[in-house]
Structure 1
Amino acid sequence: MTASSAASPRGPELVRAVGVWALAASIFNVTVGGGIFRLPAGAAAAAGAAAPFVYLICAAVMGFVVLCFAEAGSRITLTGGPYAYVEAVFGRYVGFLAGVLLWMLGTTAVAGVASAFAEGLGALFGLPSIRVPVIVAMFLLLAWVNIRGVEQGTKLIVVASVAKLLPLIAFVAIGVFFIQPENLAIRDMPGPSSLARAAIVLVFAFSGVETALVPSGEIRDPARTVPRALALAMIGVTLLYLAVHLVAAGLLG
């Protein structure tokens, strides 16, 4: 805190230390969650070789959503992100409802990713019965880390981020040399309903922006930082998703 903020009639304020690259990295890390390890198969099942077009459709749709967040985030600098934006326009009660919905969204998303992780781990070791124990152990570990303190939680985030991104980058960098071009050939364009089903699956992979903007009270110069960070993060996420899917489809068909 600075002396001026400490003496503010509103009380102590958060230090605004998060810049463009730090916020972009945070958005990227939250958005690229465990879904990328699972969702390409669902997109391919629904849209076949045309699935890359679905990524572009989802990116375009989410682009309009991100523009709304960029506009709101550049004008409203309060901590809370989406529910702070709603509260500023519609009042505290509607803002509270938005906060509850945001909490429900985060809870169900975490539950879905945890379930997919436990199911994949059980399939890897041929032990489908370990799904429930893995989920319970995972959340107990996360709770223990949070109880220990912020420093331990930050270290876990760094380790988890590296463990998540390095395999994806290595997969793309190595797998691109072994792509079978015939696996990427689009022989029959799927109908609109198939593309819509694939888009419903994939839009989950692009969510997360709303969570990353919650600590808006710690962002430096929000009017320029928020829009630039959102643009950088969403372009990076889209390119990574396309690369992972194209390599996976090129290798596996």
Structure 2
Amino acid sequence: LAFLMNTFPAVRDRMLADPRFAFKLFVETGADAAMNTAMEIKQRGETFWDEFEFFACDQIAAFAVNTAILTICSPAIVLGNTTRSMRKLGELSAKANGATKLWYQTRKYIGKLPPNVFMLDPKLGLMAKLARGGATIVARGGQIFFVSTLCGTVGQATANSLMMLRRAAGKDKYSKAYAESIDDSVDPPVLDTGLLWGRFMCFSANIRQQLVIGGERAVEQFARGNRRLTNGATIAFRVFNNIKSGSDFNDF
């Protein structure tokens, strides 16, 4: 935990706001890795080791995306009145004009939104809650789209590079049946794969993650310090979320 807090400020800020953040992150990424591994072994069957570079890169990219989504949608405590980036944004906004000023003001507005819809100010009226709730979902979706597209693109590009290196070393590195089916003229698409991840995660994963966080908050308020109950609920919510994610992604 000390390593995480010292190395990753975003994780540290969220662990300060939620002592169970590290546990939630472990369950989220661990459950996803376990279920992905089981599914990949089942689907790929005898070709699993022939396509291991794709499996490995997919696992690493999924870990990065799941970590980012949970981090984006979780509350944080930032030491000091404002973050350095927000102070700089305020300075730039004051000096800018036209479209540039509008861009900076939009960034400031997004920065003031809660991390998820279950942390809206209860004093707001119905219309204000709907407006800020919708803005929160869209803003978090935009962030998740960027991160997921980046991770998916880098992951696929890395897998393709490893595949080419492996083929260059000789087709004897594959099983005989798989080696005979290899078509060197066809490579899996890189950008299309990244955009596929981005489109799916920005809506489906965004909504599901916010619902999971809302469910956890409700259980925490009901349990009142009962660690077994809250941890059990987290495991149940997040395992179900990963099962649903895998099913939805296959349909998508």
TM-score band, normalised by shorter chain: under 0.3
* Higher RCO structure, 1 or 2 (CA under 8 Å, sep 6+): 1
